[in-house]
Amino acid sequence: MWRYIRTALFGEVLSMLDQIRRLTMSNQERINRIADQLDKAHGEIVGGIEDLKAQVERGEELDFSRLEAGAQALDDLHADAEPEPEPPDDPAEPGPAPAPEPTDPGGVEDDTDPAA
């Protein structure tokens, strides 16, 4: 009886391993297809940049709006890192000196008549 159970379990394990292998191969095939697409896109982008350089050298005026939109769409695929917060000011370090208060110009009186 134990022999039958071991054989059955061994068969199940082999079946599961086969399923895992097929899933892994399926995922690897998808990864390879995506990598191929990225390689193709890279070649097209590099070629497009060369075309733009040639147009600039010829003095042509270019519209970058579509290119900028595409670059932004690619940039949006991955969130930008949050900037690190500025460290708080160290209260032990003195800041800029306060501006001096205006002083009396030495007792000089105003000779103008405010009623006039």
List, as one string, the DSSP characters of 29-94. HHHHHHHHHHHHHHHHHHHHHHHHHHHHHTT-----HHHHHHHHHHHTTSPPPPPPPPPPP-TTS-
- pLDDT, residue 110, reads 56
Query: Does position 54 have pLDDT exceeding 80, yes or no?
Result: yes
Question: Quick one: average pLDDT of 84-91?
Answer: 71
Question: Quick one: average pLDDT of 9-31?
Answer: 81
Query: Does position 34 have pLDDT exceeding 70, yes or no?
Result: yes
Any idea of the CA torsion for 7, 10, 15, 18, to the nearest 10 degrees?
Answer: -140
- pLDDT, residue 59, reads 92
Contacts for 95 with CB less than 8 Å, ≥ 6 apart: 89
Measured distance CA(46)–CA(37) in Å, rounded: 14
Entry pTM: 0.39
Measured distance CA(30)–CA(43) in Å, rounded: 20
Ranges of each domain in the chain: 2-74
Question: Quick one: average pLDDT of 20-27?
Answer: 78
Is 102 or 110 the better-scoring residue by pLDDT?
102
Contacts for 56 with CB less than 8 Å, ≥ 6 apart: 62
Query: Does position 96 have pLDDT exceeding 90, yes or no?
Result: no
Q: Are 62 and 56 in contact (CB under 8 A)?
A: yes
pLDDT band at 45 (very low <50, low <70, confident <90, very high): confident
